[in-house]
Amino acid sequence: MSVRFRRLARGLLLGLIWSWCAWAEACPDRGLDFFETEGYQTKRAEISGFWLLRIAPVALQELADKPFRLAEVKRAQAALRNALVAAPALFDSPVGLSIVLPRVVDCEQKTLTVQFRVFTAKAPLGVIGNLEHARKERVNPGDALALRPAKKWLRVTPGFSYDASQGLMGGGRLEAGRSVRVGFEGYGSRESLLGSGALSMQREASEGWWRQIDLRGGFDYVDRPNGLFRLRSGLGVGQFSLVSAPMGRTGVVARFGSQFEGGRLESVGLPGTRVAHFKNFAGLTLRRKGQAMAASYGIQLGRTGRGGVVDYRKQVLDAVYERRWLPAAHRTIEFEAQVQAGHLAELGPTPLAERFYGGNVETPFAAMSGWRIRGNPVMRGVPAFRLGGGLGVRQYGVVNLTLGIPLYGLPIVPREASGDRELREKIDEGLDVALTTFDIGNQLKDPAQLELLRDRKEPFQRVMAAIDARLEETGTDCADRVGDLVGLTEEIGKNTLWRQFLKDDPDEANIPAVQQLCAEQLNGKLRDLGVELEVQRKAIDEGVKRIDRDKARRMAERQLAFPREVIGSVMDEMNAFAVSPIVVFDAGKIRGEQYSAGGGLRLTVASSVSFDLGYAWSLRGEGRGALFVAVRFLNLFGR
């Protein structure tokens, strides 16, 4: 690609996409009050940041064509930040940043533009450590990290794909709701028809041993050819899945699930069969800097009612490793290795449709699970569902390798913004606040902290109430401080940090302040309570010293490691528009050795569309090769 062509293409893209959010030249470094004092006029107000954002409060519009007033700018700044915080997202999270920094640009002839630099993001703690979420961040960062207001109640995702077996398929997904969701998905062509619907309920937790529980119920219908006959199924599905909290220093996450299916399987041209399936699946996933891994195992027990209790047993293993290198900002090299194995044991009457048909299309083991476990051998050089000459196979082992090489990337955050020192400092400050919040939360769960709550709350409240009752109405600081401390003791609960009662600050309500201010005023009736108060101080001091604050800090740093890394990647890695050539290679043991290799092109417009086009040649084994095309429009419509 010539330098001239690259410059022309970049210029067109910048003109079309970034014209409304250009990072303008700043005015000379003066305090904002200077421009009010000098009588500057505001020409317009604008938001500058990543292009996914679509928020413009009325307060911004009210700044234009008026004298510059610092108070009005601060009011608009607060309104914009409130709009960012209130913007709908598909998840809740205690880790979120909404930063708004005003400045003035284009100062000329006593006129200027007020520019608000913004950054907003959230990190979903329940799933951020999963491999699937790492993929979602790259393809759909707007929803994955709440970089833009989400279509919270209704989301429509059209798409189409092509393969030699099913032809050109079009359709999409419609989803409504948030914690309780209703979704319908359908794709069709002259050769195939796929449809599903589900009602799901999801619950997330930020504390405890689990992070996400998902319940789903619905149906799944499939009708597609495989070269010899048609594979058709209609199944009712019920599913439960659970995701654990990160475990240990590595932060590995465990996942479990069960699924019940019942319905009918057909190989058109052969007799149909009523079946019942019980599936169980489990796995581990781990995400480290630049890497993501997942390993899953699934087992299915099937019954037709014409044989024993279990007529067939299917097992699959799916392991994935992803590695990302960033040799330069927004130029990410991606490598993926995936190992799959499967075995079908026919213990009694077994529908032909239960065999593994594979090819260049992936089918999931658990059709409605949010976590992907491949249920078939993927060989990209073989047309979909054609393995075994169309008769399928009973066992397989496959390795898939994919390498993506960056050709072009246009950052979500303009380079001028990602290099803005003030903005990055504010992001770091926000993450430090989150770190302190997690640190305090971990201290509150320390056994020594819980012991103080159990053993010291009642005696501490009792002695302070007694002092307050006996203290004469002198109107001194002693009486005021005792009253303040009594109020604090009445509010003691599981979120109380006990070390606050030991602060040596006479201006705050604490034990040393009461002892100091009241020492000269204690009469004979109060001295015995003063002694008892000292006993309580020593007991609280001993308990506070047993709280492992270093451990709480280390835990907080681990809890914030993924959010800090991901939020940083928004500035330095994520692209609004990216083009990447891909190279693929597959090797399998499927009725003998099989190999395929090929390549293609991946184009992604972040949070709008993902497009893959490629061809893989069969080097050894079945078939000659296969073309694959897939286009997904990401939540293009809805509200």
What is the signed CA dihedral for 201, 205, 211, 216, rounded to 10 degrees? -10
Mean pLDDT on 422-439:
88
At 316-360, the pLDDT tens digits run 999 999 998 888 878 889 899 999 999 999 999 999 899 999 888
Where do we find the tokens 């069960």? 258
Mean pLDDT on 572-597:
90
Single-letter code of the amino acid located at 466: A
At 62-88, the pLDDT tens digits run 899 999 999 999 999 998 888 888 888
At 253-272, the pLDDT tens digits run 999 999 999 999 987 666 77
**CA–CA separation, 119 vs 19, rounded Å?**
19
Query: For residue 395, what are the contacts with CB-CB under 8 A and spacing of at least 6?
Result: 341, 342, 343, 344, 356
| Predicted model pTM | 0.78
Give residue 158's pLDDT. Answer: 86
At 117-151, the pLDDT tens digits run 888 888 887 777 787 777 777 777 877 888 877 77
Give residue 638's pLDDT. Answer: 45
Please count the CA atoms within 13 angstroms of the CA of 475 that sit on its side-chain side. Answer: 0
Give residue 178's pLDDT. Answer: 75
Token pair listed for 613: 């086009």
At 40-62, the pLDDT tens digits run 999 999 887 765 566 667 778 88
Averaged pLDDT score across all residues of the chain: 84
At 202-237, the pLDDT tens digits run 888 877 888 889 999 999 999 998 878 888 999 999
What DSSP string runs through 396-458?
EEEEEEEEE---EEEESS-HHHHT-HHHHHHHHHHHHHHHHHHHHHHHHTSHHHHHHHHHHHH
**CA–CA separation, 329 vs 416, rounded Å?**
13
Token pair listed for 523: 């009469």
* pLDDT band, very low/low/confident/very high, at 189 (cuts 50, 70, 90): very high
Q: Which stretch of 105-114, 206-215, 467-476, 611-620 has the lowest confidence by average pLDDT?
A: 467-476
